[in-house]
Structure 1
Amino acid sequence: MTITDVVVVGLGGGGSNVADEFSKRGFLGVAINYSSQDLGSLTYVHDKQKLLGSDGLGHDRQSAIELISEHTDVLTSFLHKHCERAEVIIVCFSTGGGSGSGLSTLVISILSNMYPEKAVVAIPIIPHNEESTTALINNQQVFEELSNIEGICIAPVDNQKAKSNCLSIGKTKIYNLTNQSIADHFYALYSYTNESSKSGSFDKKDFINLFKQEGYCSIAEVIDVAYWLEKEKLSLNPNNMKKLLRAVLNESMFAPIEYDSIGKAAIIIDTEDEDVIDNIDNSIFDDFANRPIDVFEGIYNNEQSNFLMVVLTGLSMCQTRLSEIDAILEKRQKELENLPRTNTAFKSKFSSLSLPSNKPVQKKEKMSTQDILNMYRKR
């Protein structure tokens, strides 16, 4: 059965791959792209929209806007068709490419304008530090534009985190793991809206209201609390649970968070260990400048692995990460400025050399056979 109250819109190659993972887990997922090859590689999405004018943009995000300007009706019709019934609209895209980054803020603005009552969640995927200068510049432009859109929730995924945590595997596998993790986090959270509990349930209204909060979002998921406590060398108490969550947030795939504000939060605890439940309270928010406006709790005992998830929304922009990319771009700009002037002219010392084969052949008088014979007779 398809989950229709949450729709996932994938933009470009990277975003569409994430939408494919959501669709694999039962969400309604659709993809929009200029590249027919990228769309053809998708397996699970429920619908695809091939945009006209190009078959790939090669990191040129401005071209995405220029090309779509003549076909906006096609785009809005496709979005309306699939998003009308949803309560939460998730838009996934890579910020470094052409199609996804170029279309991202336009699509989000259209959706926010069409459905001001719905929760619109942007999932921008930030390139890692070694990616091209163009990709990093595209990222900064996207975040500038996102900062001007009101009323949306932004959950920035950071490929630099994934690269740092998975040094021993290739880029393709890292991206696949990241895409799967994004879908897994949201599926795990959404799945609890169908669970009941005497101690407090996290329902669909909570899910919607959590992501209606404007600002940035991050998710900390602990599959086994006991394992993480041992890993961080912490005993089980409220203060150490706060330290544990901070450690998990630092290692998560989401961009580093800022602690100067928080809007809302969700706490999901699924364990048969009552000590874990008793040692998680609102003190986990002490690091923030304020307490959350609202905290949605769900306490269950279905898992024996001591599962814990904390979702934070209404955070400040990930300024630390964006400033890091600014510093990288500044360094690269200085490197380019210090390069010697490129010389494309070439003059060979031997381009006019006259080779023997190029000299005119002197005309040679023919000898008679008798003259040739006489040459040898003299011997």
Structure 2
Amino acid sequence: MKSIGILGVGQAGGNIAEIATTMGFQTALINTNQRDGIVNTRVEKKYFVPGYNGAGQDRSLGLRAVKENYRELINFVKGSFNNIRLLLVAFSTDGGTGSGMSPLLIEMLLDHLPGVNIGAIAILPERNVLAGNRINASECIEEVSKIEAISSVFLVDNDQMRKLNPQSSKHLIYLSSNQQVMEAINSVLRVTHKSSFYGNFDESDLMNILNTRGVTIISSATITDAKTSADVSREIHQSWLNSIFCPVESAGVIRAGLIYEGPESMSKLINVPSIFERVGEPLQLFEGTYFSETDATITTILAGFSFPTRRLQSLEDSLEKNKDRLQNLVNKEQSQRYESKVSWASGLKAKKPEKQVGSAASKLPKNLK
């Protein structure tokens, strides 16, 4: 049984939980819209918040759903996972249900799930989303960043997938992002069950890394064609830039993992100071070395980064540039009226003569009355 559980919140979170289920993770989902969550047929444990039919991209509705049902939500999560060490809450930051519910739900779970660390898989939208989605994402990430006891936050960046696959449909972008984040987490869990004479990367090592507060990324680089240590480091640095996670913007990694799998001859090219030159020497480094005849790969786990200011600022830039226009739209919605210029004409409408009782009888000759 895997030591990491996946709790999907909202439609995007439910889709991640669906993929995680196929990989053997314990999963559950929460949604305000039963029609969204019911399509995730592989996820057995589901909670649909009563009295709601979705949140309509309104974060305040998601927040209200937690406040009104927090006891039921906590009991549902407690009953859905057994013997896990880390629970990752998966959600989209730019919608209503996942974005609105997840920050407060994480804080509550931290208080009510003793012995279980809580982290997040938070999906950032593409840069070309509309103003409402940008506002939701900015507010959601700010709230998540302020949770003091939270563990690793994986920022899945749909913009990264768009850069690598510019012609893909939105559906394929989402599907690929969801698949790749779970494959990355599953791959490092898989390594913790391998054995080696030359240094094992075990589950305690992984949990030490993932329990670090801050932003975490996982990436793998194939180094089969590398000739020098500089080549190896270059490939690893490129893997950080091309991963599905927000690109590394600054130094400051706190804990890290470095896992080598491949021929022994290639392992001699690994130069740890060179690899971490760009992100700074971590406080702790956990390594695993597994010799085989497969292509040489190096998987790195970097935890404890600050939230990527430049990437998040890109969501807010267009809001700032269009501040006046957007504010005018809000004011227009609240104040727009139409004043008729022909209100004076209402008295000109033709009126049907009123029926006079007995009027016909009065016109009859006297001898017929």
Compute the TM-score of the two structures, normalised by the length of structure 2. Answer: 0.86
Structure-2 residue corresponding to 1:8 = 6
**In structure 1, what is the Cα distance between the partners aligned to 2:163 and 2:325?**
25
Alignment check: 8 A CA contact 2:246 2:308 kept: yes
Paired residue for 1:304, among 279, 294, 297? 294
Conserved 8 A contact 2:57-2:97: yes
Aligned partner of 2:138 among 124, 140, 146: 140
Work out whether residues 66 and 104 of structure 2, in 8 Å CA contact, stay in contact via their aligned partners in 1: no
Partners of 2:192 and 2:217 in 1: CA distance: 19
Aligned 8 A contact 1:65 1:102 in 2 = yes
Partner of 2:169: 170
Tell me the secondary structure at the aligned position of residue 42 of structure 1: coil
SS at 2:51 equivalent: coil
Which of 23, 32, 40 lines up with 1:34 in the alignment? 32
The correspondence of residues 233-272 of structure 1 with structure 2, limited to 5 A, is 235-272=226-263
Which amino acid in the other structure matches residue 239 of structure 1? A
Shift of 1:242: 2.2
Judge conservation of contact 1:129–1:328 (CA < 8 Å) in 2: no
User: Deviation digits for residues 342-363 of structure 1, max 9, x if unmatched?
Assistant: 98749899xx9xxxxx9xxxxx
Residue 285 of structure 1 is matched in structure 2 by: 276
* Structure with bigger gyration radius: 1
Which of the numbers 109, 118, 121 marks the counterpart of 2:119?
121
Secondary structure of 1:70 counterpart:
helix
Q: CA deviation at 1:117?
A: 4.1
Q: How does 1:187-266 map to 2 (within 5 A)?
A: 187-222=186-221, 224-226=222-224, 235-266=226-257
5+ residue gaps, structure 1? 230-234, 353-357, 359-379
Give the Cα–Cα distance (whole angstroms) in 2 for the partners of residues 109 and 83 of structure 1. 18
1:160-197 CA distance string (max 9 Å, x none): 11111111211101110111001100111100111101
5+ unaligned residues in a row in structure 2: which ranges?
351-369
By how many angstroms is 1:243 displaced? 2.1
Match of 1:47 among 28, 39, 45: 45
Q: How does 1:67-82 map to 2 (within 5 A)?
A: 67-82=65-80
- CA shift in 2, pair 1:105/1:344, >3 Å: same
User: In the aligned structure 2, how far is the partner of 1:113 from the partner of 1:177?
Assistant: 33
* % identical equivalent positions: 27
CA–CA separation in structure 2 for the residues paired with 1:336 and 1:187: 43
- Conserved? CA contact 1:16–1:31, under 8 Å: yes
User: In the alignment, what sits opposite 1:365?
Assistant: none
Tell me the CA shift for residue 4 of structure 1.
4.2
Contact in 2 for aligned 1:119/1:208 (Cα 8 Å): no
Judging changes above 3 Å, is the alpha-carbon distance between structure 1 residues 336 and 68 closer, same or farther for their aligned structure 2 residues?
closer
Distance in 2 (alpha carbons) for counterparts of 1:128 and 1:242:
29
> What code does the residue aligned with 1:320 have?
R
Equivalent residues of 2:255, 2:303 under 8 A apart: yes
CA contact (8 A) 1:61 1:98 kept: yes
Aligned CA distance change for structure 1 residues 266 and 190 (closer, same or farther; 3 Å): same
Q: 2-side partners of 1:119 and 1:277: how far apart?
A: 36
Task: Specify whether residues 128 and 206 from structure 1 end up closer, same or farther in structure 2 by C-alpha distance, changes over 3 A only.
Answer: same
Distance 2:288 2:272 in 1: 13
Q: 2:27, 2:81 within 8 Å by CA — same for their partners in 1?
A: no
SS of 2:3's equivalent in the other structure is: strand
Offset at 1:305?
2.1
Bigger shift: 18-27 or 268-277?
Answer: 268-277
Q: Residue 109 of structure 2 aligns with which residue?
A: 111
Q: Provide the alpha-carbon RMSD of the alignment.
A: 2.4
1:297 is displaced (CA, Å) by 0.9
2:183 corresponds to: 184
Question: In structure 1, what is the Cα distance between the partners aligned to 2:171 and 2:72?
Answer: 32
Instruction: Please tell me whether the aligned partners of residues 19 and 29 of structure 1 are also in contact (alpha carbons under 8 angstroms).
Output: yes
Spell out, residue by residue over 1:106-137, the C-alpha distance to the aligned partner (whole angstroms, 9 max, x if none): 12111222246433221110011111211110
Residue 45 of structure 1 aligns to a residue whose secondary structure is coil
Q: Is the 8 A contact 1:215 1:313 kept in 2?
A: yes
Give the AA of the match of 2:294: Q
- Cα offset for 1:338? 8.1
Instruction: Tell me the distance in 2 between the aligned counterparts of 1:267 and 1:165.
Output: 25
The CA deviation at 1:313 is: 0.2
Q: Secondary structure at the match of 2:133?
A: helix
Larger deviation: 303-312 or 30-39? 303-312
Shift of 1:329: 1.4
1:143 Cα offset (Å): 1.3
CA distance in 1, matches of 2:20, 2:273: 31
Q: Aligned pairs, how many?
A: 340
CA distance in 2, matches of 1:302, 1:118: 35
Give the secondary structure class of the aligned counterpart of 2:103. Answer: helix
Is the alpha carbon distance of 1:68 and 1:213 closer, same or farther for their aligned partners in structure 2, counting shifts above 3 Å? closer
Are 2:99 and 2:137, in contact at CA under 8 Å, matched by a contact in 1?
Answer: yes
Q: C-alpha displacement at 1:156, in angstroms?
A: 0.5
